[in-house]
């Protein structure tokens, strides 16, 4: 197969992600933005400046079943969704290889620096730049249609892509649902007010006491439903 241009290549990747049951797809162009972030990845944005971000919408019944803590049902769902996203990224990578380009799939939820508790880079950031949503008060990527009930993964490549359009301006409005749902009051009036330490301490307790084994909670995810008119 030959590379037939930016639009065709982007359409091909979008179709693969749809056939892998992804709920959202966007592309971003980071050319000229190499200095923006110290990313924990084995490539530079100079080498692989284009990115796609895919998202998979979580099950409403699973999310709605959360009351005041994570459950083993949510943890199982979380792990299976991560798996599907990671496999989708491999399918996208194979298509990029087929067209003669390079690609790095950034896994859905891999922590690479255990001291700082961070991943390769932020899917929320890539998703925002790809026009998939805005960073909400809950510090999560909020899709206008699905709210925060979406998990994400990204793929970086040197294959030129057509970008998805404008970044959506921040738009939580007066909604306080996530702040009311957070068991430790970690959520404030803007993403910058998010108290990561409070959140992290609670997740450590949940991981230990609820026999969950993962740093998850899900209550701010459950609470955030996006724009009512777009659901």
| Binds ligand B12 (CB under 6 A): choice among 92, 152, 155, 161 | 152
The answer for residues whose C-beta is within 8 angstroms of residue 219's C-beta and 6 or more apart is: 66, 68, 69, 181, 182, 183
Smallest distance from ligand B12 to CB 8, Å: 24
Among 62, 212, 220, 223, binds ligand B12 (CB under 6 A): 220
- Name residues contacting ligand B12, limited to 157-196 (CB under 6 A): 194, 196
Residue 104 or 152 having the CB closest to ligand B12: 152
Residues 108-137 that bind ligand B12 (CB under 6 A): 108-109, 111, 117-126
145 interacts with ligand B12 by CB under 6 A: no
Which 8-state DSSP code applies to residue 25?
Answer: E
Footprint of ligand B12 on 56-85 (CB under 6 A):
78
Q: Which of 6/71 has CB closer to ligand B12?
A: 71
Q: With respect to ligand B12, which residue has the nearer C-beta, 99 or 184?
A: 184
Q: Could you give the CA distance from residue 173 to residue 158 in angstroms, rounded to a whole number? A: 37
7-46 positions binding ligand B12, by CB under 6 A: 30, 33, 36-37, 39
Q: Which of 127, 141, 197 lies closest to 170 in space, CA to CA?
A: 141
Q: Say whether residue 230 binds ligand B12 (CB under 6 A).
A: no
**E-strand stretches of 45-174:** 50-57, 103-106, 134-135, 141-142, 150-157
Among 108, 121, 124, 145, smallest CA distance to 226 is for 145
DSSP state of 86: H
Q: Number of helices (H) and strands (E), helices first, in the chain?
A: 7, 6
Start-to-end CA distance of the chain, whole Å, equals: 38
Cβ closest to ligand B12, residue 78 vs residue 104: 78
Q: Residue count at the site for ligand B12 (CB under 6 A)?
A: 39
Among 20, 88, 139, 163, binds ligand B12 (CB under 6 A): 139
Helix ranges (DSSP H) in 42-71: 60-64
Q: Least separation, in Å, of the C-beta of 94 and ligand B12?
A: 20
Instruction: Give buried/exposed letters for 171-187 (b at 16+ CB in 10 A, else e).
Output: ebeebebbbebbebebb
Minimum CB–partner distance for residue 118 and ligand B12 (Å): 3
Give the residues lining the site for ligand B12 (CB under 6 A): 30, 33, 36-37, 39, 78, 108-109, 111, 117-126, 138-141, 148, 150-153, 194, 196, 199-200, 203, 215-218, 220-221
């Amino acid at each position: 197969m030959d590379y037939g241009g930016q639009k065709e290549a982007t359409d091909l990747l979008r179709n693969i992600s749809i056939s892998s049951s992804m709920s959202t797809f966007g592309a971003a162009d980071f050319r000229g933005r190499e200095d923006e972030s110290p990313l924990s990845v084995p490539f530079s944005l100079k080498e692989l400046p284009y990115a796609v971000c895919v998202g998979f919408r979580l099950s409403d019944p699973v999310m709605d079943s959360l009351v005041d803590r994570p459950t083993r049902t949510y943890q199982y769902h979380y792990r299976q969704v991560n798996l599907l996203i990671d496999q989708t990224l491999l399918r996208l990578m194979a298509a990029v290889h087929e067209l003669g380009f390079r690609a790095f799939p950034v896994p859905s939820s891999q922590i690479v620096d255990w001291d700082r508790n961070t991943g390769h880079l932020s899917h929320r950031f890539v998703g925002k730049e790809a026009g998939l949503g805005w960073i909400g008060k809950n510090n999560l990527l909020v899709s206008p249609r699905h709210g925060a009930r979406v998990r994400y993964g990204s793929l970086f490549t040197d294959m030129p892509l057509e970008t998805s359009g404008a970044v959506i301006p921040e738009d939580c409005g007066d909604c306080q649902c996530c702040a009311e749902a957070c068991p430790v009051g970690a959520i404030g009036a803007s993403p910058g007010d998010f108290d990561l330490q409070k959140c992290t301490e609670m997740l450590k307790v949940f991981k230990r006491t609820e026999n969950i084994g993962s740093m998850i909670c899900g209550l701010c995810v459950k609470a955030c439903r996006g724009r009512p008119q777009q659901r």
